[in-house]
A and B are shown apart, each in its own frame.
Chain A
Amino acid sequence: MTNLNYQEKIPNNVNLSTDLSLQRALEHWQPKFKNWWTEMGPEGFQASDVYLRTATSVDADGWATYGKVKMPEYRWGIFLNDKVVDRKIHFGDNIGKPVWQQVPGDYRSILRRLIVTQGDTEPASVEQQRELGKTCPSLFDLRNLFQVNVEEGRHLWAMVYLLHAYFGRDGREEAEALLERNSGDVDNPRILGTFNEPITDWVSFFMFTYFTDRDGKYQLKSLAESSFDPLARTCQFMLTEEAHHMQVGETGITRMIQRTLEVMNELKTDSIDAVRNAGAIDLQTIQRYINFWFSSSLDLFGSEISSNSATAFANGLKGRPDEMRYEDHSEKNSTFTFEGLSLENTIETQTIPMRNAMNEITRRAYVTDCEVGLKRWNRLIKKAGHDIQLKLPSTRFRRNIGIWAGVDVNPDGKILQKSDFESKIAAWLPSDEDKQFINSLMVQVVEVNKTAGWIAPPSRGINNMDIGFDYVNLKS
């Protein structure tokens, strides 16, 4: 690569063309990334032309440039939100001091760990979703899948940029390791457990983008508050893209429900069998998928009482999402009261130092955000004249991390006897039969302007294009 075409090859606003050491690091890493994309990226569509959005700058014109491109030639760029002049640390013990433009030595390893953990999830989700193209319900959805995939790829670039630019040799080693771990690989798994489960059907994909990517949004919101300015600015820009992923999830689930309601109204029935026989997904099954994905996403926020979260907050490394909405930004002596688990395995009110509760505070903001979609879906259902309502299970339900890990709690949050719980748990989660049924619906639809029967067509196209536009040219 020569200096001249840097902006062309790697769109960026970090002065890549003049930063020799960063160039060297990225030149070493980029071929490995391309290899990884070819081997672990979307299976079977590497030669297809896909109508994708590419960020070429951070301003309103540049962040969304549309055009057809083969995915391996996608221009993954490096973008940070513009610098705020004289930005000051606004939470923790160092309020009022200037934010850091370089990594302070004392926080080097904890910041690196935060970035690596965040970075690891980005390629992980591409790997988890690599088989989905084979069963897409429409070209529109196929394109959305790939848009999500390339943007997760760009988010990986964003984290790798931080590792390369600010963490020296350790950072370069970590950047390589991000490509060496693989989702579901027994020997080299991804760091977080959830990201090692393959996503093989589109119901799970929409649930993942609605619930699990929303965890990503809240992690990014916390990091966007960071006193390490390059990290904050990187995450701020990533959030604009992440919003799209959740949009894919929300509209996907909405369209599934729409289709189900259509079938129920056409056949004038709410019989599960009748809905299934007509090729739509009954609302009860959708509820079980919500139970599964919501609860597994909650674990990603970590333990309710956490010393790591206290350290990250006090030192200004990771704030609360929308930190400025809170009044006290130090929270040094304040406390947090919540429903915890007593030694006798009952629910009791507990009070802990506020700083140790940062995971739980972030989780609560996330839950509130999740509720919005539920409200919309329930309105649709009600408008169609049905009594059934979808709901989020209790945050205590089916947890593997934190104080509720392994506690036998039902979706309403009540602690049950072990035997009672074990006899009921299967009914709250997708059963093998549910999965078989969902898999039977997963048939690839790639004709222009057609949509699979289990999901309603989209209400509008991408970038004002027609719904019938050929968003993906399969054989080009």
Chain B
Amino acid sequence: MITFDRDPNNYKHWKVDIKENKATLFLDVSEKDGIKPGYDLKLNSYDLGVDIELNDIVQRIRFEHPQVKVVVITSNQEKNFSAGANIYMLGQSEHTWKVNFCKFTNETRNGFEDSSESGSLKFIAAVNGICAGGGYEVALACDEILLIDDRSSTVSLPEVPLLGVLPGTGGVTRLIDKRKVRKDLADIFCTNADGIRGKKAVDWKLVDYIAPPSKFADLIDERVKKITSTVKLRDGKEGIKLNKLNRNITNEGINYDCLNAKINREDRIANIHIIGPTSNDVLNLEDIGKKGCDWWPLKFARELEDLILLLRTNELEVGVLTMTSEGSTDDILNVTSIIEKNKDVWLINEIIGLLRRTLSRLDLSSRSIFTIIDNNSCFSGLLAELLFAADRTYMLNNAMSPDDLKGPFITLSDINFASLEMVNGMSRLATRFNNDELKLKKLRNIIGKPLDAESAFEEELITVIPDDLDWSDEIRLSVEERTSFSPDALTGLEANLRFPGKETCETKIFGRLTAWQNWIFNRPNAVSEKGALKLFGTGSRAKFDNKRV
């Protein structure tokens, strides 16, 4: 089973050096320590294991080292920054593995940019050697790229000419959207396996600054200093230690403190059940600091992130996630309010960031999501995001109940309008209503107001509101119907419906670039026995089916 949590004392592929405002990450991939057998990680090439460590390292810097403002990514191998994703790993992997690998690496790269844009860490790639493919894509995700000008170090995206695939970890998109490289130059760059070095790399906007080896360290210092002054919310004194999650994996599911997942492999569904915060979590800032990673919002975010990643990688056939919750609506609203009021405090900003990125992982998971609101639920405040992340929502309607039950209720909060944006840069509510300002204004007016099923339905926040007689059958039928459809068609459908409206660099990466890459990953020109990806390293040339499709 692949897991995603790592022990910071035991990194195999990275060395971390933290000095005052700067954390330097040295990539030094251990060749024999691939996460799966069958390939050597030569030339600082990476596989999922290398990226899991990177994700863990950056996450720990965010929380455990609040004085760090800038992260410098560089290499410990002479004349070699990184050769990118390991080709033999890609060549031997099943399609699903490749896709999940790319998704996770994409999310880690996006995480850099997410931090950078939200007042948290900034990133500098100090490219001190040859930097190819996925190695350059790591650099592209940083705020600045510094390239050593030793007349031989180049940056390159050789995927098309060498491997018959795309630079699929954001490469193509960031080149033209983020760095604004002209499309004809990008065309030359992406078809030239040798790459571009020195001044030309600056002229083409492929890198930001160059310096000869004797002055490279000075350049790094200078840029770190410059960028440090632009970081807004990294002024913490004491960090929050991220302890090991309290996780229990059994054959039937995965249990944490704030949530658990029951996996039904026969029916191919998993129920994710969230246990909301209690009054013990309604604290002042000082006490939140003391409670650290045990404070509910942080613990919840870490556990949900871990669960999503475990399900994605290890439970490929579980197609439908149902989400339920239990807890006090008051408590979740109070906790949400603490977050909203203190969002300029470094720790709270980091918690918001982690929640934002984790909920984005959910948006980007290729699983159907149904959120179910029953009598015990507490889907309000920040947890209301799980209503809007879902493909459908079901809310129990007790209006006609003979017992005169009130509720269940949902309550909106400011956080549902800002701070937890999706990768399209819009809140889930704005996305849901395709940025209809009038509608959003109306919704803002009911912030804090408890809505029962009928009023929530009226406000278009809920998909279906069965009464207690129809309740269990309605949900059962929907889930059974869902699992009977083609998984591929569903993935395509959901990925399209979840992101109406404008595009961003990230939506293009996850939509356009990833979709094309996954198409290419399935085509004989890449992956048949005579495909370019399979034959890489054997010396034989690929035999292409030359029809343009």
Contact = CB atoms under 8 A, between A and B. Distances in A.
| Interface magnitude class on chain A | 20 to 34
Interface stretch (B8-16, B146-154, B245-253, B336-344): B146-154
Nearest to A109: B194
A313 interface: yes
B151 A188 contact: yes
A353 interface: yes
B87 to A, nearest CB: 8
B93 interface: no
A112 B212 CA distance: 24
A189 B539 contact: no
A181 interface: yes
B501 interface: no
A356 B42 CA distance: 15
A310 to B, nearest CB: 3
A109 B192 contact: yes
B193 interface: yes
Nearest to A343: B32
B240 to A, nearest CB: 39
Nearest to A331: B539
B150 A189 contact: yes
B243 interface: no
A355 B212 contact: no
Interface residues of B, number: 19
B500 interface: no
B214 interface: yes
Given A109-B192, A187-B214, A310 B150 contact: no
B210 to A, nearest CB: 11
B152 A307 contact: no
Given A112-B194, A307-B536, A187 B541 contact: no
Contacts of B537: 307, 310-311, 356
A442 interface: no
Interface string B519-542: 000000000000000001111110
A343 B541 CA distance: 31
A46 to B, nearest CB: 26
Secondary structure of the B side of the interface? loop
B194 A187 contact: no
Contacts of A189: 150-152, 213
A314 B540 CA distance: 6
A355 B151 contact: no
Nearest to A189: B150
Contacts of B212: 186-188
Contact of B538 (A112, A191, A312, A353): A353
A312 B539 contact: yes
Interface in A291-322: 307, 309-315
B151 A177 contact: yes
Secondary structure of the A side of the interface? helix
A310 B539 contact: yes
A12 to B, nearest CB: 28
Given A109-B192, A113-B194, A186 B539 contact: no
Nearest to B193: A109
Nearest to A177: B151
B539 A313 contact: yes
Interface in A150-192: 177, 180-181, 186-189, 191
Most buried by A among B150, B151, B194, B536: B151
Interface in B185-199: 192-194
B197 to A, nearest CB: 9
A93 interface: yes
Contacts of A310: 537-539
A36 B150 CA distance: 18
Contacts of B539: 92, 307, 309-315, 355-356
A117 to B, nearest CB: 10
A317 to B, nearest CB: 10
A93 B540 contact: yes
Most buried by B among A112, A189, A313: A189
A332 interface: yes
Interface in A95-119: 109-110, 112-113
B151 A93 contact: no
Nearest to A112: B194
A187 B192 CA distance: 25
Nearest to B162: A311
B78 to A, nearest CB: 8
A231 B192 CA distance: 22
Given A177-B151, A343-B32, A93 B194 contact: no
Most buried by A among B193, B194, B215: B194
15 contacts: A109-B194, A177-B151, A180-B151, A181-B152, A186-B212, A187-B149, A187-B150, A187-B212, A189-B150, A189-B213, A307-B539, A312-B539, A314-B540, A332-B540, A355-B539
Interface of A: 92-93, 109-110, 112-113, 177, 180-181, 186-189, 191, 307, 309-315, 332, 343, 353, 355-356
Name the 3 nearest CB pairs between A and B, nearest first.
A314-B539, A310-B539, A187-B212
